[in-house]
Chains A and B, each alone.
Chain A
Amino acid sequence: MRTLAGTRSLGQAALALAIALFLGLFLVVPVTTVIYVAFTEKGGGALTLINFLDFARTELFVRSFWNSVYVSAMTVVWASALALPLAYLTTRFEFRGAMLVQTLGFLPLVMPPFVGAVAMQLLFGRNGSVNLLLDEWFGFKIGFMEGLNGVIFLQAIHYFPFILVNLSAALRNIDRSMEEAAQNLGSHGLRLFRRIALPLALPGYIAGASLVFVKVFDDVATPLLLNVKEMLAPQAYLRITSIGIDDPMGYVISVVLIGVAVATMWASALVLKGKDYATTQRGGGGLARRKLKPRESFLAYAVVILILALVLAPHVGLLLLSFATVWSFSPLPDGYTLAHYARVLGDSSVYIKNTLLYSSLAAGIDIVIGGAIAYLVLRTKLAGRQWLDWAASTALAVPGIVLGIGYLRAFYGVKLPDGTPLATLWIVIVLAIAIRRLPYALRAAYAALQQISVSLEEAAENLGATKARTVRRVVIPLMTGGLLAGFVTSFATAAVELSAVLMLVQSNSDAPLAYGLYVLMQTPAGRGAGAALGVIAVVIVAICMGLAQLAADRSQRVRGLDI
């Protein structure tokens, strides 16, 4: 018995060790080389905590901290307000285009935030289309994009898909009898939703909401594009990248950011403890979808169209910009042209190829490692397996710029046989993206594995399959749908990753789309071309996501795991 357990855990230990090595090499070491500065005295290099004291004493940082908390919390509120109606309508009613809504609802994630911000300024800015028209017709303007509110506005639109996806899945997984019982006892409509469906979907909702909170807390690009600097992540970024100043405070803030992210994840785990409402009983299947009455139907479509119009506004703005000749202080562009597309078509193929290659490699790495970690944590008793999960999840909180600098520090000195530094190879970009997106794939793998009853694996073992063969023949096939979903999320978001990439791109021929977009968007003549490239990026990533989604759906249906 002892030898049996021994060989078994030997294989698992080897797997765990390999993952630990990967995470150590490509996450822990590079990040540590950067943030240890936070604990050293400037110039001297002696270890100290004085920098943290300075952080707490500096009014600007404290203000920035609370601004970040406020913006993140309000973003969760608004993102929920956008996601709730869509999730509710598409999972509980016979709603034509429910599939379309779910797909379109995912699109904001595919938009690089800095591009979205440019488009949104043109539409909702102080002198954007909406405000110019409002001013002309009614004589007032609305400060959609002003200060912290502008950040909340953009972030809510950008990140609400995380809540939509998690909430929809949670709602679909509630056993229909849960809600039927409530209807039978006289409850219906919104009250039924509030008292039964929502509490039961809470775990899924919290998972999505905590992710949004952390992402917003750590986001640099969106606040800076709106010229909001008094938030924590922008402060770190500004400090770290300011010219010629070796200031430990940037790294102190990075440590604080990582701390907040870990605390958020921990708190959400705490809230969810003992709330595992796995209610699906016999093949599950959510409440029978109700038909909407004509008046309800009208209202529902109005709400959905309004929300979709809002969340797709960046895409509309980008599309307009990509065809615009000049768009300045006017509700619509002065004229339209195809010239921008003509300009980027030649340049962009290399970016597109790189993006597809990097994103699929990174997402591939992510689901392999994410799936392995989920398996080790949920299905084995290996000591210290939780650490793998925690380490991988920390990646969520490491600012891209910190990871980028860490990679340069850790790998630039490592030479290949011909003298080229390791850090100049394009595969390093892939690794950085993979690390940045690993938490998404990890969450998806967890969800997929949690839905598989242990008894299915036990049955396989009982019939003579070894652990490894059980994994290969039972676990992986059953997880396919969930893993594909993780792949899609990782892939789509990897395609728009910029902050770490910006530091690591060594040559134009190795650059992905987001980099090309960024470079183009920095010139007056390049805005239209950048927008055209952005449109191409969104279309390509959306097509890839659609195909992956189709494949996932098909594999689910083949296995009879209709969701």
Chain B
Amino acid sequence: MSKPAKAVGIEIAGINLSYGATHVLKNVDLTVRPGEFFAFLGPSGCGKTTLLRLIAGFAQAQTGQVLLDGQDVAPLPPWKRDVGMVFQSYALWPHMTVAKNVAFGLEERRLPRAEIDRRVAEALDLVGLAAFAGRRPAQLSGGQQQRVAVARTIAIEPKVLLLDEPLSNLDAKMRVSVRRELRALQQRLGLTTIFVTHDQEEANTICDRIAVMDAGTIRQVGTPMELYESPANLFVASFLGSANILGDGDGISVPAGKRLVFRPQHATLSSVAGATLRGPVTHREFLGATVRYSVRIGGSEILVEVPFQSGGELRTVGDMVGVALPPERMLFLPA
């Protein structure tokens, strides 16, 4: 499979989309850079799939623009957009063989037969399913079906690749290997790719950048590290990894309209004396490398994870403890 001449960027500006009274996407602005592996991450119902379908042309926005390679795609129907989409259900056609499925898009482009055959073989080779060309989709395992769906999409050499929760129908072990394959394939093709998922681990492990979405808005865009280290708001902080959130009500002072946010592993337990944050241990969990304590501070419970040392001193439930936190780890985020 030859690399596309040039990877393509996607520009999304001022998108608003409603189905009747439901406002599904609200003022969405986003830039996906050429060649990037990009994720839409968010809980179900946040609008991530709708945004993906908007790019593919299966949904129409009331306002705003989608630019592919600088060109507004609004007037283009789905079949003229050249964006490849892999559906969550794979949408393999049961009445066609694997090879026929992969050949479909090429036939629609009226390519010569020899060219079609060559590219079908290439695409199936690429996903390691050359031997299964004559089978029907129903005769394949879930992982194989997923790879056929990918092969079918990349066979047409799309400008961008859209993946709608492509791993959700696979078992846990398959997911890890398939996501590595996907990443490797994307790297090889240099194809701008958008990956929709609700699983932060998936997004973190394979994507260059992530847009975290909630209730139809994009809450933050950044690399996995940026999002983890410096979340822009409480939603992002708590959606990626666990975060402790404390406010006025918990007996501490924070700037007006802000909350104190920190990760459990950045805090340590100290003596009660002199500690600003203190309270009783309510729960203790042994996790192997660390021990996780729950501590009640004011009206909230926070988590503190401390490294486990053999023979080290352990606190028990009911002990009064102080919680120490380096100032550089304290985040004050808008409520």
Q: Which residues of A contact B (CB under 8 A)?
A: 175, 177-178, 180-188, 191-192, 195-196, 199-200, 202, 275, 277, 279, 281-282, 288
Tell me if A185 and B108 are in contact (CB < 8 A). yes
Q: Given A191-B108, A279-B94, answer yes or no on A185-B58 (Cβ-Cβ < 8 Å).
A: no
Distance (whole angstroms) from the CB of B166 to the closest CB of chain A: 13
- Residue-wise, chain B 50-83 has the 8 Å CB interface mask toward A (1 for contact) of 0000001110000000000000000001111111
Residues of B within 8 A of A180 (CB): 56, 58, 78, 85, 87, 91
Q: How many residues of B contact A (CB 8 A)?
A: 26
Tell me if B89 and A277 are in contact (CB < 8 A). no
Distance (whole angstroms) from the CB of A160 to the closest CB of chain B: 25
Residues of B within 8 A of A199 (CB): 93, 95
Tell me if A177 and B94 are in contact (CB < 8 A). no
User: When the two chains form the complex, which single residue of B77, B89, B93, B94 contacts A188, counting CB atoms closer than 8 Å?
Assistant: B77
Tell me if A184 and B83 are in contact (CB < 8 A). yes
Beyond the given pairs A182-B108, A184-B153, A202-B95, 13 more chain A to chain B contacts, judged by CB atoms under 8 angstroms and listed by A's residue number, are: A177-B88, A177-B91, A178-B93, A180-B56, A181-B87, A182-B104, A185-B104, A187-B79, A187-B104, A187-B105, A188-B79, A200-B94, A288-B58
Q: How far is the CA of A186 from the CA of B159 in the complex (A)?
A: 13
Q: Given A191-B108, A288-B58, answer yes or no on A183-B91 (Cβ-Cβ < 8 Å).
A: no
> In chain B between 137 and 185, which residues have their CB closer than 8 angstroms to a CB of chain A?
152-153, 156
- B84 contacts A by Cβ under 8 Å: yes
User: When the two chains form the complex, which single residue of A175, A182, A187, A275 contacts B89, counting CB atoms closer than 8 Å?
Assistant: A175
Residues of A within 8 A of B3 (CB): none
Distance (whole angstroms) from the CB of A281 to the closest CB of chain B: 5
Distance (whole angstroms) from the CB of B119 to the closest CB of chain A: 13
Residues of B within 8 A of A177 (CB): 87-89, 91
Residue on A nearest B164 in the bound complex, by CB: A177
Tell me if B152 and A185 are in contact (CB < 8 A). yes
Question: Which of A181, A182, A188 is the most central at the interface, judged by chain B CB atoms within 10 Å of its CB?
Answer: A181
Q: Which residues of B contact A (CB under 8 A)?
A: 56-58, 77-85, 87-89, 91, 93-95, 104-105, 108-109, 152-153, 156
Residue on B nearest A195 in the bound complex, by CB: B104
Residues of B within 8 A of A181 (CB): 85, 87, 91, 93, 152
Q: How far is the CA of A562 from the CA of B87 in the complex (A)?
A: 22
Tell me if B153 and A183 are in contact (CB < 8 A). no
Residues of B within 8 A of A192 (CB): 79
Tell me if B79 and A175 are in contact (CB < 8 A). no
Residues of A within 8 A of B78 (CB): 180, 183-184, 188
Residues of B within 8 A of A178 (CB): 91, 93
Residues of B within 8 A of A187 (CB): 79, 104-105, 108
- Listed A/B pairs (19) with beta-carbon separation below 8 Å: A175-B89, A177-B87, A177-B88, A177-B89, A178-B93, A180-B91, A181-B93, A183-B77, A183-B79, A184-B81, A184-B153, A185-B104, A186-B79, A186-B105, A187-B79, A187-B104, A187-B105, A199-B95, A279-B94
Q: Given A200-B94, A277-B95, A288-B58, answer yes or no on A184-B84 (Cβ-Cβ < 8 Å).
A: yes
Residues of A within 8 A of B152 (CB): 181, 185
Residue on A nearest B82 in the bound complex, by CB: A186
Residue on B nearest A182 in the bound complex, by CB: B104
User: When the two chains form the complex, which single residue of B93, B105, B108, B109 contacts A200, counting CB atoms closer than 8 Å?
Assistant: B93
User: When the two chains form the complex, which single residue of B77, B88, B94, B105 contacts A185, counting CB atoms closer than 8 Å?
Assistant: B105
User: When the two chains form the complex, which single residue of B57, B95, B156 contacts A275, counting CB atoms closer than 8 Å?
Assistant: B95
Q: How far is the CA of A181 from the CA of B57 in the complex (A)?
A: 11
Q: How far is the CA of A282 from the CA of B90 in the complex (A)?
A: 13
Distance (whole angstroms) from the CB of B108 to the closest CB of chain A: 4
Question: Which of B57, B87, B91, B108 is the most central at the interface, judged by chain A CB atoms within 10 Å of its CB?
Answer: B91
Q: Given A175-B89, A177-B89, A191-B108, answer yes or no on A184-B94 (Cβ-Cβ < 8 Å).
A: no
Q: How far is the CA of A205 from the CA of B325 in the complex (A)?
A: 70
Q: How far is the CA of A235 from the CA of B7 in the complex (A)?
A: 73
Q: How far is the CA of A281 from the CA of B165 in the complex (A)?
A: 15
Q: How far is the CA of A199 from the CA of B93 in the complex (A)?
A: 9
Tell me if B108 and A175 are in contact (CB < 8 A). no
Which 9 A/B pairs are nearest by Cβ-Cβ distance?
Answer: A185-B105, A177-B91, A181-B91, A186-B108, A183-B78, A188-B79, A199-B95, A177-B87, A184-B85
Q: How far is the CA of A182 from the CA of B156 in the complex (A)?
A: 12
Residue on A nearest B58 in the bound complex, by CB: A180
Q: How far is the CA of A31 from the CA of B156 in the complex (A)?
A: 61
Residues of B within 8 A of A182 (CB): 93, 104, 108
Residues of A within 8 A of B56 (CB): 180, 184
Residues of A within 8 A of B58 (CB): 180, 183, 288
